[in-house]
Amino acid sequence: MGAKIGTLVNQARAFLAAVQFLTRLPLPNLYRDGDEAAAALRRGVAYFPLVGGLVGLSTAGVILAASYLWPPWLAVALGLAWEALLTGALHEDAVADFCDGFGGGWTKEEVLDILKDSRLGSYGTIGLMLALLLRAGALASLSGIDLLAAGAASGALGRWLGLPVQALVPAVADRPGLARDLVKELSSREVLLGLLAAVPAVLAFGLFTPLRLATALAGMSLFVCWLVPHLRRRLGGVTGDCLGFACYVGQIIVLLAASAGR
């Protein structure tokens, strides 16, 4: 009994660590030191899709509620503003850095140096604007239960997409950062557990529109087939910004599939 309780406590801490990392919710610190917090976050990677699904559902909920008062484009803007506040624009920052790094850098060292630079360049500005417009346009074409289902599914599957990338590409060697800590020994079992954690958020989308879900999964697979060799060739590994970029593109792919033909 004691072992089971201990396991449940560890899993609860892992889930809270995932919430703390992916959002800015003011949760209490449950860890004795930094090593314990890092270990909890490492276990919490499998919960990223579940947390992402909740974030996506909340964003869609804000858009749906706001659409009763304002036009669709303004409701979507309010929803995306809410999400940026909730998450600290974590993945948006990664998109901008990725576009700046790979757009402006030619060598591995140049790309990595740009990724570390906090300044926003032309490639990052354009890339982030296009990414936001793609999400906003897709969300604006949805309404009602379709909006809620697609919002939750995109949030979950987007965060999950980072897991297979982590499993397939090692962290950039001799480069301290979040990716090196999270990627370490990420197994196919954890990728599968993350996919199972995404199921609650994806269930409605899959039941209502199974063909759109299949299309989204196919699009995500093609994206991974491009991104993995691209990262190996350009960097010889992956960084936290690359993982955040993958997560955001995953959300866009799901939303594009959900809004096609609307």
% of residues, the chain, pLDDT over 90: 71
Residue 47 has pLDDT above 90, yes or no: yes
User: Which SS3 state, helix, strand or coil, does residue 27 take?
Assistant: coil
192: which 2 tokens? 């599968």
What's the distance, CA 136 to chain centroid? 16
Answer yes or no: is pLDDT of 107 > 70: yes
What pLDDT digit, counting tens, does each position of 185-231 carry?
Answer: 678 888 999 999 999 999 999 999 999 999 999 999 999 999 999 99
Examine residue 17 and state whether it is found in any structural domain, yes or no: no
Average pLDDT of the residues of the chain: 90
pLDDT at 10: 77
Does residue 21 belong to any structural domain of this protein?
no
Q: Tokens in use for 109? A: 């060292």
- Let me know if residue 19 belongs to a domain: no
The alpha-carbon radius of gyration of the chain (Å, integer) is 18
Confidence tier at 117 by pLDDT (50, 70, 90) = confident
- Which of the 8 DSSP states describes residue 47? G
More confident residue, 171 or 173: 171
For residue 13, is it within any domain? no
Q: Could you tell me the residue range of the domain that residue 240 belongs to?
A: 45-259
In a domain, 18, yes or no: no
Contact (Cβ atoms closer than 8 angstroms) between residue 114 and residue 105? yes
**Contact status, residue 159 vs residue 49, Cβ threshold 8 Å:** yes
Q: Per the structure, how many domains does the chain have?
A: 1
- Domain-embedded: residue 115: yes
Residue 187 included in any domain: yes
> Tokens representing 174?
């001799």
Phi then psi for residue 97, to 5 deg, are -65, -40
In a domain, 8, yes or no: no
Using one digit for the tens of pLDDT, what is the confidence trace for 27-36? 877 666 666 7
Helices 144-168/210-234 angle, 10° precision: 30
